[in-house]
Amino acid sequence: MPIFDLAMAVVLAFFWLASSSAWGHGLSGLKHVGDPENWIYQDTEDAPAHMCRKNAEGYVFTIIESCTSTYAGTFAGGNVSVLLGFLNVFLWSANTWFLYKETRMYNPNRGNLQNVESPTDSI
């Protein structure tokens, strides 16, 4: 029945929206945590890069002249996966329109197509 197909498509489109949004939010947090500039200069005792601790005067350990990261990484694959997730949301949502057009809610006057007489039957 088309109404059940429509209901399932709406549920799946909502799940795709929720999961794509959650993955996009998680990826932005991962980008923040993965960026060395956000954590390399922390001035705490349990800093991840203990030797690179920096305060207002400069580096805590005077033996260190500079701390730089050589490669911060890339998140291109993650960006593409979020983009494809939202593209899938669009496709599922567009599909619901076509499924809605198949239901009796769109055209309540449409009869049972299996019992409709064809024009050649009345001759």
Q: CB–CB of 27/80 below 8 Å?
A: no
pTM score of the predicted model: 0.66
Query: Which of 3-7, 25-29, 30-34, 64-68 is least confident?
Result: 64-68
- The residue type of 4 is F
- Residues 11 and 93: beta-carbon distance below 8 Å: no
Above 70 in pLDDT, residue 104?
yes
At a CB cut-off of 8 Å and minimum separation 6, what does 48 contact? 39, 40, 42
In tens, the pLDDT along 35-82 reads 877 777 666 666 666 677 777 777 777 677 777 777 777 899 999 999
In the block, residue with structure tokens 């500079």: 66
Query: What are the residue ranges spanned by the domains of the chain?
Result: 1-35+74-108, 37-71
Which secondary structure element, helix H or strand E, spans residue 84, and what is its range? Answer: helix 76-101
